[in-house]
Structure 1
């Protein structure tokens, strides 16, 4: 007996209206904030300072917002303490190589800019996860764009402060190998100790925001039939339990490999590849479905998207240059999921799911014409 579509969706429904733009902005910052504390600095070893410079729900979201606010305050404490230590000469203390275009500003030449791109992405990696909260947001047409823009503005300020002040305080050469850039830049000072402990808030914020992101992504793909449907069943509080647990268990097992740098680069490669696919999708939809309702329109249209597409393609290639093992492993995972789609899930999609409504309408229109 065929399952009632209304019953299917009723068992796979998230809590709606739980977040406004402020909480969504907090979610966006929490996705990225730990990247200000560590990870980006390894790009100094690839491109130097010049190369790197060129390149949510209910109670849970409120908790993440508070934790993220603490992490941002920690960065502001760092900035105040780092200003007296700043020395412009430290920004360019990596000796220039013999690469094309090499200088004190670009010690590894023009190619160094390209190689630093994956690490520059770390400053904003996962910000695109904010729209995953659209179904649980109030007035998503207005609040999701406002939340993303607000998060980007906050991150632009914190990223610039950390990049310039940390490098200027400790030096590009020393910072390129640091495991805790803001703390090591401040030395053994009291402010350094405070920032070290507050930095844990950044890690906690990113930890919980990534849990939120992967669970909602898994939920959406499962509800539409791209992944096993059992993963999208929600509990009494409208939370997708298995979508939270299963990917988390996979991530935990991967963490046991001890290959943190490889996993980081896999995340960057996966994000960059997804950016390519998103930009291509946007351009295709603007050309093939110009009359489709668009509550939010990208400033600049396909020109903006085209530029972003070029940058995303360069980032994908750059990841291969920096870590071909991580890029290859991620590409292999993508290939396996595409094979699963081709052989199974494309024959079991759920037309009644919100994720498939547009595809169903497009197919119906094509059949009529």
Structure 2
């Protein structure tokens, strides 16, 4: 895929101004990072799938996406132990699919990670308004404060940021456990299917909006797991990536599967799918519906639920900055975006997408819309990531790997098929948003084709990997 590129020489101090802090994370922090990326999806967002497909539709979607993510994570565990760079998905695809494939993957991930925090910011505002804090009737000040505070923490230092993130995630996990304890006594299977049945094809109690609704719900089944694939972005800041990366991302995925199953079953099963289908704060709403308006657990979860949303918001900011840093350092995007400060954090790559995300949140204030945009970028990247694993296994079977995916290409082949289905599903939810996002993606690709492929940096780690591989191939 467009392997012809031109490299430019850079000054000796180029990489001195683009260095990340080494050894800041072990596998426990990586697992915490993986959970924190996603945990907001347990607190809000997934429930919009009930509005699209009913409980049966969302159940089908979640099971399919759980299979897709599990298979993909096993492939990522292998690739991240083999090619441990800050580019992560872009680096894997760069090695397997060439410059255009790597760049396209990186841009798709960047769209996902730049927009997902904006969606989460909207949900943070929803939780704040539900608590009646500060007398707010418009949440844009909440979005602004969230971006300023947490971008500032990331600029302060990666080790400090990851530890703060781990602590916030622990509070969020406690809130999920409290939700489970509070709702179990009130579970009634009849509540799962209380949405009125439509006249759509295939409609019934389990699928009130028919087969098309189940397809549309795929976008929200993804929200239970969206961004766990970002763990490998911490590779250059990990003590032992060959060992720690596979362990961290696989443990994180296991935790996420358990919480997704519990939330999907207990929240609508206690309060009713109809009650929580469009809520911006479904867990506290379900607890109040099941246990009473003055329930103390609901109050606790409402406050602690903010920790879950903040944890994902905080950690995905980390992810977008590392993806943008890697693409910029290699020259695929403007090089000034990869500048790092005195504390070895990519401050420009933190601020620029953060500004865009704040504007998206403030102007739209529509979490469901922003989810669909983020998911479009994610699913495109998943297609390319799974394809990359398959190509690397076929083309470079003897490449030294710290971990090997069980099932090999069969495993990532399953994930590839399901990720293609997920891309198609984004058009079932909001065709306009999907096409606009596709247009933005196309503009990025045009930038590469007409400009940046002629201005790449040969000494960037992802480019060096490819040049070494090409040289070894010429010797054989």
Common fold: TM-score over 0.5: yes
Paired residue for 1:194, among 275, 300, 304? 300
Return the TM-score normalized by structure 1: 0.95
Q: Which is worse superposed, 24-33 or 101-110?
A: 101-110
Matched-pair contact (CA < 8 Å) for 2:182–2:287: yes
Q: Give the Cα separation in 1 of the matches to 2:400 and 2:184.
A: 49
CA drift of 1:179 comes to 1.9
Q: Does 1:97 align with 2:103?
A: no
Aligned residue number for residue 254 of structure 2: 153
Aligned residue number for residue 243 of structure 1: 349
Point out 4+ residue stretches in structure 1 off by more than 6 angstroms: none
- Residue by residue, what CA displacement relative to the aligned partner does 1:175-209 show, whole Å, maximum 9, x if unpaired? 21222111111112111111000011012111110
Q: Which is worse superposed, 118-127 or 257-266?
A: 257-266
Matched-pair contact (CA < 8 Å) for 1:19–1:58: yes
- Residue by residue, what CA displacement relative to the aligned partner does 1:63-108 show, whole Å, maximum 9, x if unpaired? 1000000001001111111112211100111233344433322223
Q: Does 1:63 align with 2:69?
A: no
- Residue by residue, what CA displacement relative to the aligned partner does 1:26-48 show, whole Å, maximum 9, x if unpaired? 11111111111110001012221
Superposed counterparts of 1:138-287, under 5 Å: 138-187=239-288, 188=293, 189-260=295-366, 261-287=368-394
Q: Does 1:47 align with 2:53?
A: yes
Return the TM-score normalized by structure 2: 0.74
SS of equivalent residue, structure 1 residue 39: coil
Q: Which is worse superposed, 356-365 or 72-81?
A: 356-365
CA drift of 1:141 comes to 1.1
SS of equivalent residue, structure 2 residue 47: helix
Q: Give the Cα separation in 2 of the matches to 1:328 and 1:268.
A: 13
- Residue by residue, what CA displacement relative to the aligned partner does 1:111-168 show, whole Å, maximum 9, x if unpaired? 3321110000000001111100011011111111111111111111211111111011
Aligned residue number for residue 130 of structure 2: none
State the superposition RMSD in angstroms.
1.8
Q: Does 1:112 align with 2:213?
A: yes
For structure 1, list consecutive stretches of 5 or more residues without a partner in the other structure. none
CA drift of 1:294 comes to 2.0
Aligned residue number for residue 361 of structure 1: 468
CA drift of 1:12 comes to 1.2
Q: Which is worse superposed, 90-99 or 220-229?
A: 90-99
CA drift of 1:368 comes to 6.0
For structure 2, list consecutive stretches of 5 or more residues without a partner in the other structure. 1-7, 62-153
CA drift of 1:327 comes to 0.9
Aligned residues: 368
CA drift of 1:109 comes to 2.9
Aligned residue number for residue 442 of structure 2: 335
Q: Give the Cα separation in 2 of the matches to 1:354 and 1:116.
A: 39
Q: Give the Cα separation in 2 of the matches to 1:82 and 1:65.
A: 26
CA drift of 1:367 comes to 5.7
Q: Give the Cα separation in 1 of the matches to 2:361 and 2:311.
A: 18
Q: Give the Cα separation in 1 of the matches to 2:271 and 2:404.
A: 43
SS of equivalent residue, structure 2 residue 304: helix
- Residue by residue, what CA displacement relative to the aligned partner does 1:292-311 show, whole Å, maximum 9, x if unpaired? 22222222111111110111
Matched-pair contact (CA < 8 Å) for 2:329–2:460: yes
Paired residue for 1:311, among 418, 425, 431? 418
SS of equivalent residue, structure 1 residue 58: helix
Matched-pair contact (CA < 8 Å) for 1:262–1:325: no
